[in-house]
Amino acid sequence: MGSYTEVVLQLTFTPDTPDHVLAAFSALAKAAPGNPEAPELPAPHPVQDEDWGDWEPTDEVSDPAADPEPWMHNWPLWLSTSMSVGTTPHAQLAWSAMGTWVLSCRWGIKSWPDAILPALQWLGPFLEGWDRQPTLLGYMTGIDPRPTLVWLWQGRISLENLTPEDERN
């Protein structure tokens, strides 16, 4: 039957993030009131007839790490949609007062955190984090009683399940 996972993230892109990476999310850009200094974003990548059946972030058939162009998928669709009626989806790419692009999203998918992580890991090198300690990017909740935290450390995204092993479903 499976379970649903709610994914809540805030990703701050580095100033030198390549245009092809920002283009993966530029369709989610919202005008920032009172902030005319936002640089122009690259046009969104064309979506090649990709719908719900062609690609998803938890594709168990392919290896997300082997995808040579992970930015070419329909990320705006997935990040702004929920497969669960219990999650109200939200996704926005905004120019921050710190002079960086920030992607915030809340979405739901019929999967589990360990299956979602591989599809997100390609973003790690393009995200801002702390030099001396891991940076909390967000969390995922599902059937486990406690959330799974999403961390960035030295350009790598990882998970920390806060539910003790003996309490996991």
**For residue 1, what pLDDT is reported?**
46
The percentage of residues in the chain with a pLDDT greater than 70, rounded to a whole number, is: 89
Sequence-separated (6 or more) residues with CB below 8 Å from residue 10: 102, 103, 104, 137, 138
**For residue 107, what pLDDT is reported?**
96
SS3 of 94, please? strand
The per-residue pLDDT for range 28-72, each reduced to its tens digit, is 998 655 566 788 899 998 876 555 456 778 866 667 778 888 888
Cβ proximity of 112 and 34 under 8 Å: no
Residue 84, pLDDT > 70, answer: yes
The per-residue pLDDT for range 121-153, each reduced to its tens digit, is 999 999 999 989 999 999 999 989 999 999 999
Half-sphere exposure of 67 toward its Cβ, with a 13 Å CA cutoff? 22
26-35, 78-87, 115-124: least confident range: 26-35
pTM value is 0.90
**For residue 2, what pLDDT is reported?**
66
| Pair type for strands 5-12 and 101-109 | antiparallel
What's the chain's average pLDDT?
Answer: 88
